[in-house]
Structure 1
Amino acid sequence: MPSRSDVITPALLRDWALPVPSGGKEARGTVLVVGGSRFTPGAVLLAGVAALRAGAGVLQLAAPESTATALSIQVPEALVVGLPETGEGAVRGDPGDLLGGLVADADVVAVGPGLTDIDATRELLRLVLDTADRETALVLDAYALGALSHEPDLLAGSGRKVVLTPNLTEARHLLGRDPGDDLDAEAVELAGRYDAVVSLYGHIATPDGRAWREESGDAGLGTSGSGDVRAGLLAGLLSRGADPGQAACWAAFAHAVSGQRLVPRYGRIGFLARELLDEIPYTIATV
């Protein structure tokens, strides 16, 4: 029997309104994105800008040192820190004290967009978990999910606010088998196994068994960089004070509907992930 989940609708979201912090940028929190490689700096850019578009107050990007100057020019709103890299252009797993300090001071840390070395990512993930405050929210994406699949007990019983954002390939690694057709059930299983909120292709579950599904996403979202945008969106919503389940539901809806808004200009397929970014604030504001 298929698992039961609630459909994410504007009415559901209006009854689950996002926090609207008052005051300066500090009231909307600091998001740190850790990711990238010499060949994939755009993933960090997309995730970081999405976090700002979703309402984060302060953005920090930690990426390979060979990309830091370009990123600081492309995202002038962000503090950009260059991390030591391997000869292949991946972030090294021992980036030193600078990254630890950024993690300790962040309200949300997103790990994974654009990372390319699984062993180094495992070290980075351990550093983040060892250094982050217990109240710091975490978004694990891409290679960070692969690293977690190698250490499945890393989050168990931690009580941390964590959201996992697997695609089907990453879900296979996390499950240790191919996902079945009932993605609601797979999301619930992953949430329970890893003690985290899971957002799997619009199917969202919490460790206590609550589940939702977003049904308006279309084929156009299956484009390079789209997942980085979704991860950053989540981070931005967490930064402004949403709880993990709420942030995952709002992010799934905003991601999907921002894509819908691009269809009249570009058709169902052919729009770019970066074009989703400008649609996010209006989509959220008009729920």
Structure 2
Amino acid sequence: MTFGGLKRGHLLYPGKDYCGITKLVSIGFHDQTIQEYASAFTFADERNIMPPRANDSNKGTYGKILMITGNETMSGAAAFAGEAALRMGAGLVKILSDESNRGILQTRLPECLFGTRNQLKESLEWCDCILFGPGIGVSEQTRDMLQYIMEHGKKPLIIDADGLNTISRYQMDVQYEYGLILTPHLMEGARLLSKPLEEIKKDICQAAEDIARKYHGTAVLKDAATVVTEKSHLLYINQSGNHGMATGGSGDVLAGMIAGLLGSGMSSYEAAIKGVYLHGLAGNAARDEKGPYSMIASDILKHIKDVTGGEYESVLPGACSYRSGCNLQ
């Protein structure tokens, strides 16, 4: 039992494993006081938080998403991300990938447009948001493409997976003023900060804040309890999801889900936290159907439909806790 608000030790591992059933009890703190001293939050319940859809809309209404994903050995990353964005309601998805992936992607995802990387310039002018990195590999060509995007892109950008490893490998100076989301797991986060992994694990909230500050964007630091933060916003600690999601391709699905929300017009911060939350809910539905041992990334994709109904809530659910803790209800 805890009072006023949940604390970070209740929401992050290993503390969360020791808590069992945690009950939050009010002892009279005024809501205004709690919110004034809050440092973080989480969602209180499983409300539907998707953006609204208009009856008189068309495919252009819901975002044109450009994805630079998948090298000759990683077509799956492109497929997972592309389908996830479509399942989140994106109007159009264009995938720039290795030519050898054309047959695979156009067979599995005929709804997607396909192009090669020499179409990058025209595609940047076409799109509403950009996803760079899943399965793309780390090379000088990758570095050059990412540098070109940062110099010529004018739409919100998500950098994931090998895009992040490219930044670390080549010590790239990241400056992007049109909205930036970085989605590292802990090892990628350690590389971005040039710190040992064990140091990152000691305080993932601080590590996420350091990434957001260093790269001037929204940081999505992925772990068993993913942390999302951006300068001038409350830190978010996600509580949806399960250990069955620790499977190849799960991160590609998340990147695509965030891209789908970003393309709808959400801010980088909002798309990141809601993408993470809904990704975890879809993972929970997949676990309930397949079990944590047998579920795979394709099962998460299958259950996106179960978490995307209803209307968007303009006010995030939840009340806050003290600066040492987080809100839940």
State the TM-score, normalizing by the size of structure 2. Answer: 0.76
Contact in 1 for aligned 2:138/2:163 (Cα 8 Å): no
Does residue 94 of structure 2 align to residue 82 of structure 1? Answer: no
Residues 1:280 and 2:286 aligned together:
no
Q: 1:143 aligns with which of 151, 159, 162?
A: 162
Tell me what 1:99 maps to.
120
Distance 1:39 1:215 in 2: 33
Tell me the SS of whatever aligns to 2:308.
helix
Aligned residue in 1 for 2:44: 9
1:160 maps to amino acid:
Y
Whether 1:174 and 2:205 are equivalent positions in the alignment is no
Residue 116 of structure 1 aligns with an amino acid whose one-letter code is G
Query: SS at the partner of 2:201?
Result: coil
1:278, distance to aligned residue in structure 2 (A): 2.1
Other-structure match for 2:315: none
Does the CA contact (< 8 Å) of 1:257 and 1:283 recur in 2?
Answer: yes
1:174–1:190 Cα contact (<8 Å) kept: yes
Structure 2 CA distance, aligned partners of 1:10 and 1:32?
Answer: 32
Distance (whole Å) between structure 2 residues aligned to residue 276 and residue 2 of structure 1: 27
Please identify, of 226-235 and 216-225, the stretch whose mean Cα deviation from structure 2 is larger. 216-225
1:183, 1:203 within 8 Å by CA — same for their partners in 2? yes
How big is the shift at 1:118? 3.2
Q: 2:138 touches 2:162 (CA, 8 Å); kept in 1? A: yes
3-state SS in 2 of match to 1:37: coil
Alignment of 1:105-254 (within 5 A): 105-133=126-154, 136-149=155-168, 150-155=170-175, 158-177=176-195, 178=197, 179-201=200-222, 202-254=226-278
| Contact 1:192–1:209 under 8 Å retained in 2 | no
**1:92 maps to what in 2?**
none
CA distance in 2, matches of 1:215, 1:171: 20
Asked if structure 2 preserves the Cα contact closer than 8 Å seen for 1:66 and 1:82, the reply is no
How far did residue 54 of structure 1 move? 1.0
Deviations along 1:74-133, one digit per CA (max 9) or x if unpaired, are: 1010111134xxxxxxxxxxx3xx221012211111000111133222111012122322
Taking the aligned partners of 1:118 and 1:269, their CA distance within structure 2 comes to: 34
Offset, 1:146? 1.6
Match of 1:20 in 2: 52
Question: Is residue 145–residue 166 contact of structure 1 (8 Å, CA) maintained in 2?
Answer: yes
Of 68, 85, 88, which residue of structure 2 is paired with 1:51? 85
Identity %: 27
Task: Name the CA distance, whole Å, in 2 between partners of 1:192 and 1:117.
Answer: 24
Kindly tell me: are residues 67 and 152 of structure 1, through their superposed partners in 2, closer, same or farther at Cα, counting changes over 3 Å?
A: closer
CA contact (8 A) 2:65 2:94 kept: yes
Could you tell me how far 1:198 is from its partner in structure 2? Answer: 0.8
Residues 183/286 of structure 1: CA separation in 2 closer, same or farther (3 Å cut): farther
1:37 to 66, 71, 75: 71
Q: Does the Cα contact within 8 Å between 1:107 and 1:239 map onto a contact in 2?
A: yes
Higher gyration radius (CA)? 2
RMSD between aligned residues: 2.0
User: Which one scores higher on RCO, CA 8 angstroms, separation ≥ 6?
Assistant: 2
Q: Distance in 2 between matches of 1:101 and 1:69?
A: 22
The alpha carbon displacement at 1:180 in A equals: 3.0
How many Å separate the matches in 1 of 2:306 and 2:79?
20
Closer, same or farther in 2 for the Cα pair 1:183/1:281, shift >3 Å? same
Displacement after TM superposition at 1:31 (Å): 0.6
Deviation at 1:143, TM superposition (A): 1.1
What SS does the aligned partner of 1:139 have?
strand
Give the Å deviation of 1:25: 0.7
Moved over 4 A (4+): none
Q: Within 2, Cα distance between the matches of 1:273 and 1:145? A: 21
Which deviations, in whole Å up to 9, do the C-alpha atoms of 1:236-286 show, x marking residues without a partner? 000111111111111111111111112222212321101111211321225
For structure 1, which segment, 219-228 or 202-211, has the greater mean C-alpha deviation from structure 2 after superposition?
A: 202-211
2:97 counterpart SS class:
strand
SS of structure 1 residue aligned to 2:239: coil
SS in 2 for 1:10: coil
Question: How many pairs were matched up?
Answer: 267
